[in-house]
Amino acid sequence: MTPGYLSPRGAEKLRKAAETLAGVMTSCVLCPHRCRVDRTAGERGFCDLGVRLMIDSALPHHGEEPVLSGHGGAGTIFFSSCNMRCIYCQNWQISHHAAGKTLGSADLSLVMSDLQGSGCHNIDAVTPTPQLLGLIEALLDASQKGLSIPLVYNCGGYENRDILGLLDGIIDIYLPDFKYGNDRDAQAFSGAGDYVAHAAAAIREMVRQAGDSLEVEDGIAQKGVIIRHLVLPGRVENSLEVLRIIKGISTSVSLSIMAQYTPVPAVANHPVLGRRVTKEEYETVVDTALDMGFENLFVQDVSDSSIVPDFDRDHPFRWDE
C-alpha cells in the first residue's frame, strides 16, 4: 500500500501543510495550550521548544504493538519535550524538558531514510505535536529521496483538531493516547485541564481521516487508527469513562489497553500513582471493553517486571546492556 505522502497530491499537501505550519509558529497554537508565543523569535511556551527540531534518539523499536513492530521494528523517532507534563510519564527523561540533538529537516530526513534502510516497517514519530513543522519538512525531503514506509503519528491525544486537519492524507497511522475520561485527573496528573474534549475531538478527526478499520498487510499495519489507553492504578473508573467515550466514536477502531504502568522516581511515593496496576484492575478494564463490543483489542500481560525505558542508555529498551 502506498503511503499517503506518496499519493499523487502528497507533495502538494506536504508543501501546503508546511506553509501553514510555518505561519502558526509565529503565534503557536499547535496544541490546545494555545500559548500564542512567537517561536520564530525565540519565545517559548508550555513545551519549552523553539523553532529548531530537537530529538533524543531514533531506533528500531520492538516493543510497540505487533502490527507496528513486526520483525524489523518500528522506526521510532523520539522527539524531545512534549505538550503534556504527565507526572508519571514513562519517558520522563526526555519529555519534561527541551534537551537533545538539534537537527535541520534534512538531517531528520536522513534519519528517516536510515530507519527504512535498517528494515523498519514505518516511521514512528513519538510526540511530534510541537515539532510538526520540522516533521513535515523532513517528510517532504525524504519522500523525494525514496522514503516509502507508513508514517505513524504517535501522540498523547492532546491535539488541536484544526491542526490535525492539515495532516489529512499525509498521516497513514494515528497512534494517539486517550489517557483520561475526566478533566480533574487530566489537570492533576498532566497539566491539561481541558483534555477530555480535545482528545475526543482529535480522535474523531483521526478516525475520519484514516478510518476505523486498521488496514494490515502481511501482519504490518498500513493505515488506520490505534488508540492507546494506559490503565492507571486506582483509576478503573477513569478507564471505563474513556471506553464509554471511544464507544461513542467507534467500537471497530483498534484499541490498545496497556498494563505496563510503572511508577517512575517522581511518583514513587505518590498516594495514587506509587504502585503498579493490579491484575484485577486491568482485567476489569479489558472485560468491560469486550462487553461494550470493542472488536479489535491489543492487550498485555500484567507482570512485575518493569519495561520503563532508560534514555541514559545507548538503546533505551535493551535491558541487558
Per CB under 6 A, residues contacting ligand SF4 are: 28-31, 33-35, 37, 45-47, 49, 83, 130
30 closest CA partner among 16, 49, 13, 14: 49
Residue with smaller CB distance to ligand SF4, 49 or 231: 49
Residue with smaller CB distance to ligand SF4, 9 or 34: 34
Q: Are 214 and 296 in contact (CB under 8 A)?
A: yes
Residue with smaller CB distance to ligand SF4, 35 or 214: 35
CB 162, min distance to ligand SF4, A:
12
Grid cell, residue 120, equals: 523498519
- Residue 270: CA count within 13 A, CB half-sphere: 19
CB 84, min distance to ligand SF4, A:
9
Phi-psi sector, 211: left (phi>0), alpha (psi -120 to 50), beta: left
CB 122, min distance to ligand SF4, A:
24
272 closest CA partner among 315, 231, 302, 233: 233
Q: Is 268 exposed, middle or buried (0-12, 13-18, 19+ CB in 10 A)?
A: exposed
Residue with smaller CB distance to ligand SF4, 76 or 83: 83
CB 87, min distance to ligand SF4, A:
17
Which residue number is nearest to ligand SF4 in terms of Cβ?
Answer: 45
CB 39, min distance to ligand SF4, A:
6
Residue with smaller CB distance to ligand SF4, 28 or 200: 28
Q: Where are the alpha helices (DSSP H) in the chain?
A: 10-24, 66-69, 92-95, 105-117, 132-143, 161-165, 183-190, 195-210, 236-249, 279-292
- The DSSP code sequence of 171-193 is -SEEEEB---SSHHHHHHHHS-T
CB 150, min distance to ligand SF4, A:
24
Could you tell me which residues come within 8 angstroms of residue 217 by beta carbon, excluding any fewer than 6 positions away?
Answer: 1
CB 63, min distance to ligand SF4, A:
27
Residue with smaller CB distance to ligand SF4, 47 or 175: 47
Residue with smaller CB distance to ligand SF4, 77 or 253: 77
